[in-house]
Structures are given as C-alpha cells and as structure tokens.
Structure 1
Amino acid sequence: MTASSGLQGHHALVTGGGRGIGAAITRQLLAAGATVTVLGRRLDVVQALAAEQPERLHAVNADVSDATQVAAAFASARERFGPLAILINNAGQAGSAPFLKTDVQLWQQMLAVNLTGTLLCTQAALPDMLTGGWGRVVNVASTAGLTGYAYVSAYCAAKHGVIGLTRALALEVAKKGVTVNAVCPGYTETDILLESIANVVAKTGRSLETARAGFAAGNPQGRLVQPDEVADTVRWLCGEAASAITGQSIAVCGGEVMV
C-alpha cells in the first residue's frame, strides 16, 4: 500500500494505538496517506510508535474513560494536525471471571474502558466530522459483541453495547457524510490474548502450546487472526469505496461468527 491509497488530507485518531491491533491500524492509515494521532494510556508506548514518522504521527496519552483527559488529548491532536476526520475506537480491556465472581468493580471497569470510552472519544471527534461534512468512525469491538463467551460476561456486555451504539449513531448521522461501523475480531495475536493465554496456563496447569491451541481451535481456519488483517478491514472502511457501508459489524474471525 502506498500513500496514494486515498486518505491524504485526513487526520485520524487511533485510541489504544501503541501496540497490537492499534499499532497495525495506525501504520495502515499512515500508509494510506492520513496523518495520525496515536492515543494510549502509556505515553512512552505511543511516543515510540510516533517516532517512526514524527512529521505525520503525533502521540497523546489519556484514559479513554476519563472525559477530562480525553478532552485534553483531542485538543492536542487538533493543535498538531487540525480537525479530525477519522476516529478509530480501539482502546479496550478484557477482564475475565465466572459470572458469580464478577464483582461490580470488574463490571464497571469493562463498561468504562470498552463502552464509555467509545462514547467519550466519539463525542469528542464527531463535531469536527459534522462541520466538515465527512467522517469515519470505526469501533474495534469483538466477536464477543456478536455472540456469547463463558467467563467474560462483563466484557461481552460492554462489546454488545459498542455494537448497539454503532448502529444507533450510524442512523443518526447517515445523511451527514459520516459513516459509523464496527470491526469484530476473533481471537487475535495481541498482548491482550497473550495475557489471556497466560491466565489459562496459570489456572489450569496446561502448557503454553496447549492453551494457545485452545484459542485457535474456535476459529474454523484453525488459527489466530493477525493484527494486520483487522487493520486492513479498518482501513477499507475509512476509504471512499466504503461510503455506502454504515451501521455494520464486520466479523474478522475466520468464520467463527457469521452474521
């Protein structure tokens, strides 16, 4: 992909953009011609990525569930590259526990990061898009937003909420040049998944290889999704070719979930 891929002149912001899926998205949007603000909780992580192309990448840090921090980060983004045209809500956490051991703290944390964070960041970016008459919001949800998984009820509830928000907002802005979609990865080879695999090893005594194979087994292709596969779908949704696609939840999961 080259910088002639159609996003020149557009300023994108990617939350959770320093590693894994977020970093892959950042690089694909950059290659497509956009300037990109990378937002993360750890400034050192996003600064390391931004150092790859400092003239077209900007690093900011914020907890996406904190409205004050979000406002400050978005103000910094606008000061550097101007109004926002693309928002990728990728920041997320995946805590697990049996339902009867899912306490209010875990429940609220999953909602705060995965759902409230999506709300706050979208509210921060959307006015620029409406003023400009063009915009793209892509929410990185999960197959957990389309189906159920045992032991992650709070995470599933939050991601189902992201899907509902995606659909509602898509209708609200459908005539205003803004599309709103969700991308729903299956088990993807990221730090979050590695943490989940480590938890399985610790709790069950299985080997690392056996635990990893257990996650891959749910994919009909028998493998883990790669971050670039998710990022490529996100980049396509941001382009002109996807102008008629809105309110959709696209599963990137090797056929595990079909909608």
Structure 2
Amino acid sequence: MTEGRVALVTGAGRGIGRAIAHRLSREGLRVALVARGDKELAETAEGCVGPALTVTADVTDQEQIEAAYALVERTWGPVEVLVAGAGAGHSARLDRTTDEDWQRMLDLNLTAPFRCIRRCVPAMRAAGWGRVVVVASTAARVGEPYIAAYTASKHGVLGLVRSAAAELATIGVTVNAVCPGYVDTPMTDLTVDTIAATTGRSPADARRLLERKQPIGRLIRPEEVADAVWFCVSSDAVTGQAINVDGGAVQ
C-alpha cells in the first residue's frame, strides 16, 4: 500500500530525520530529503536504498517550503507521506527567555509543521489517502523547568495534530505525532553541553543525568523513533495519537 509512494521528510539532514528517511526508503518509498545543509543531505541520501531527492530549504521560510514542494511535485508527483521532523530546542529560565527565543521556537516547531501540513492536504484530500507524522516531544505532554518556549511550541503542535486528524479522518488521511524523550542525537549533545556549562557537571555526568530521566536507563536511539513513525505510516486506523518513545518516562 505504501511502496512507491512519495514521502517528504523535513529535518532529514541528521539525527531522527535521517533515521526516518532511511526507514521509509527501506520500506520502498521515494523519499524527498529536506534540510538546510547540502553536505548532511548528501550523507543521508547515500544511506537510502531507493530513490532519494535532496532539497535544500529552510522550513521557517514559507517561500522555500513552497519551492521544496514544487520541486518534489515536478519530479515525482504529489507528496503522499509527510514527516515533519525539523525542530530545535531552547533552554533558559523563563525570565531570561527573550521574545526572539520564543518566536524562534514557535516558527520552527509549530508554524513550519502547520505550513507543511497545509501545503500537502489538498493533494491528499483529492487522492483519498495520505499520512502525516509530526516529530513532537515528550515536552508536548508535560512541562519541565527552563524550557518554556520549547514546551509551548510542542504543546501547540500536538494540538495541531489532533485537530487535523479529526478534520481529515473521514477522507483516508491520518495525522499523528511521535513524542520522543531524550534521543542520542546532536540536539541532545547540545543539551548536554548546556547542562555542563550551567551546572559545572562534566559532560559525561550531564549525559548520565539525561539517561536516568528515562526508566530504561539510556538514551533513545533514532532508529527507535523511526520505528514509531513507520507504525503511523503503515496503519490505516491509527490517527490523532501522540505516541511516546521515551523508555517509559511519561505514562
């Protein structure tokens, strides 16, 4: 049912997005890889086993999103599977979170997925089939100190997913969120560096602190998040869900 379909993955240059792109490629999809870095996109494409199209774009720029979709459509046709994986974090005390910090989190983690979903829905509606998966976070489910802007953006994107799922369920389009905990990615490396810099802990101790936040006692592997994404893509009946991939941290 999914083999040969056209997928677009944002944030595909590294980490979770790269793992998702590779998984979709192994499952027989044609995968358009979207990210800002040419070199990282090329590395992701090398790991795909089937057709891969690299598209350099900043998803916070609406014109670049439109150009990315247009390129995919000219090359392969409409996007049938969207995985909105681009995202970033920010950590600061609430009173030290600037308007610029706040807006940056909303632009990347909430507005960009909204625009990507909005752009692909007409073709999915016309076809009577589509899959949308947003990579959210356990921060979409609970609040933690020092990540107010990030948490607000992720709570918002989960609301977007649920509303879109309710609207599109009758026409064969599913919309879900995957909510990872701390994953072994460059983004977590930055979190480790921030903890070490602000607390005086060693990087190794800071990493262990994050590992202990998850009952399984380790960081999640990107491939484990990709497995959850594939579950959403391959199911006809699962929609409007937020699937935690966090080693049991949020129950």
TM (norm. structure 2) is: 0.97
Mapped pair 1:19 → 2:10: no
> Deviation string for 1:19-57 (max 9, x for gaps)?
010000000000001000000011221123224458600
What corresponds to 1:73 in structure 2?
A: 68
Q: CA deviation at 1:144?
A: 0.2
Mapped pair 1:38 → 2:33: yes
Matched pairs, number: 251
> Deviation string for 1:210-230 (max 9, x for gaps)?
000000111011111110000
What corresponds to 2:2 in structure 1?
A: 7
Whether the 8 Å CA contact 2:94–2:146 is kept in 1: the answer is yes
What corresponds to 2:248 in structure 1?
A: 255
Pairwise CA RMSD of aligned residues?
1.2
Kindly report which structure 2 residues correspond to 1:1-259, keeping only aligned pairs within 5 A, or say none.
6-53=1-48, 56-239=51-234, 242-258=235-251
Equivalent position amino acid for 1:230 in 2 = V
Equivalent position amino acid for 1:105 in 2 = E
Q: CA deviation at 1:90?
A: 0.5
Equivalent position amino acid for 1:169 in 2 = A
Q: Give the Cα–Cα distance (whole angstroms) in 1 for the partners of residues 160 and 44 of structure 2.
A: 30
Q: Give the Cα–Cα distance (whole angstroms) in 2 for the partners of residues 56 and 78 of structure 1.
A: 14
Equivalent position amino acid for 1:15 in 2 = T
Gaps of 5+ in 2: none
> Deviation string for 1:140-164 (max 9, x for gaps)?
0000000011100000000000100
Q: CA deviation at 1:78?
A: 1.4
Whether the 8 Å CA contact 1:135–1:179 is kept in 2: the answer is yes
Whether the 8 Å CA contact 1:16–1:40 is kept in 2: the answer is yes
Q: CA deviation at 1:133?
A: 0.8
Whether the 8 Å CA contact 1:7–1:29 is kept in 2: the answer is no
| Structure 1 residue matching 2:28: 3-state secondary structure | coil
> Deviation string for 1:171-214 (max 9, x for gaps)?
11110100000000000000000011011112222111100000
Residue identity (%): 43
Q: Which moved more, 1:170-179 or 1:123-132?
A: 123-132
What corresponds to 1:3 in structure 2?
A: none
Equivalent position amino acid for 1:99 in 2 = L
Equivalent position amino acid for 1:40 in 2 = A
| Structure 2 residue matching 1:91: 3-state secondary structure | coil
Q: CA deviation at 1:7?
A: 2.2
Equivalent position amino acid for 2:141 in 1 = L
Q: Give the Cα–Cα distance (whole angstroms) in 2 for the partners of residues 93 and 52 of structure 1.
A: 23
| Structure 2 residue matching 1:255: 3-state secondary structure | coil
